[in-house]
Structure 1
Amino acid sequence: MSYCNAIIGMTDEKKAIHKPYHDEHYGFPIHDDNELFGRLIMEINQAGLSWETILKKEAGFRKAYHNFNIKKVAGYTEKDRERLMADAGIIRNRLKINAAIENAKTILGIQKEFGSFEKWIEHHHPKTKDEWVKLFKKTFRFTGGEIVNEFLMSAGYLKGAHSEDCPVHKKVLKAKPLWNAKQRAGRSA
């Protein structure tokens, strides 16, 4: 069942958690590197848990990870790791916390080479899901198939965030997600 259809059958309480994300964020292109990094953190933390758990903790993640500021997170020390392990507002998993910090350091290197995390993704676009997974596993920590798929779909790089009959699908198309972009002439693969 698609996320779009699942929301229809949710209780009002659950809709209040899911609908804002579904209607305003899921599948829409993200052009801010810190927000892209934040989405990656959230997708990594969702592994083994429900998306609802992550949505309920989004404010906690933002606070704990300095609003997903890549430079600040890349500079985290052992004291920061311990602070995060003690923070009930996030998922307290050492592997996921370490992945966030190490991935922030990786993104800083990507920004130096490509200008931005977004430009790095665009540089590698288009790829199949399997090619993306291979690239992300080679580049980042804690990035398996589902994490990579959901990250790229949620940020507008892979098709499938919304059913074509979902009203939000048309809004996503107007936002020009990269998966819907026409091949640009002279673009390197």
Structure 2
Amino acid sequence: MQKQVSRCPWVDPTKKDYLDYHDREWGVPVHDDHRLFEFLTLEGAQAGLSWYTVLRKRGNYRLAFDHFDPEKVARYDESQVAALLGNPGIIRNRLKVLAAINNAQRFLEVQEAFGSFATYMWRFVDGRPIVHEIRTLSDYPATSPESEAMSKDLRQRGFKFVGSTICYAHMQAIGMVNDHSVDCFRRQEIIAAYAGMGS
């Protein structure tokens, strides 16, 4: 008989792709610019929708957005915008599509200014994940002082769809905050793995 594994209260155990995302990716510290751009784009697409809606379309997004290569996305013209808006595999919202292209351009500017987007992002938590004590669904914050600061700074740099709530979800996804619940098996695994990196 398989041992029952304890997971975060938001996880729907009937959705295998949701389980895989939670067990392998969510909350794992990301310092790779390519993946950071992917998450930034997907979080923007999520605005007003559930994360699961976007997660199910992730493969389509990778194909539609040149595997989230910011240099390629930054050069998209109106014909590519039209193609994206005609693509049933992604969320066909013109403002979100235009925001993704704009954000790719701003992303490259931040890379130029800071050496990498990761260097820029991780400054908001002083380079180390914040670990929260989450026990129930009601314990999950929607924003934080760090997400407020990040949102304000990104907006000043011209990014779109980067409100504080979106920024906090981004921070959760890329491990800037560890919001795995105290009884979730991933919480300690991620803490131990990050400590083992010598950070």
TM-score tier (shorter): 0.7 to 0.9
Distance 1:149 1:113 in 2: 23
CA deviation digits over 1:79-111, x for unaligned, max 9?
Answer: 111111011111100111111101100111111
The answer to whether the 8 A contact 2:44-2:161 is kept is: yes
The answer to whether the 8 A contact 1:136-1:148 is kept is: no
TM-score, with normalisation over the residues of structure 2?
0.80
Listed as ranges, the matches of 1:26-41 within 5 Å are 26-41=26-41
State the match for 2:43 in structure 1: 43
CA deviation digits over 1:37-81, x for unaligned, max 9?
Answer: 110111111111111111110000100011101111011111111
Distance change (3 Å), C-alpha of 1:34 and 1:119: same
TM-score, with normalisation over the residues of structure 1?
0.84
Equivalent in 121, 130, 145 of residue 148 of structure 2: 130
Q: Where does the alignment leave 5 or more consecutive residues of structure 1 unmatched?
A: 183-189
SS at match of 2:90: coil
Greater relative CO (CA pairs within 8 A, separation 6+)? 2
Listed as ranges, the matches of 1:1-189 within 5 Å are 4-7=8-11, 10=12, 12=14, 14=15, 16-126=16-126, 128-139=146-157, 140-160=159-179, 162-176=180-194
CA deviation digits over 1:8-44, x for unaligned, max 9?
Answer: xx352x2x12011101111111122111011011111
Distance 2:65 2:55 in 1: 15
Name the % identity.
36
Query: Which amino acid is 2:101 matched to?
Result: I
SS at match of 2:177: coil
The answer to whether the 8 A contact 1:29-1:175 is kept is: no
Report deviation, 1:128: 2.5
Report deviation, 1:158: 2.6
Distance 2:61 2:155 in 1: 23
SS at match of 2:165: helix
RMSD: 2.0
- Aligned residue pairs: how many? 172
CA deviation digits over 1:108-155, x for unaligned, max 9?
Answer: 111111111101113343462322222222231111121110001211
Distance change (3 Å), C-alpha of 1:110 and 1:11: closer
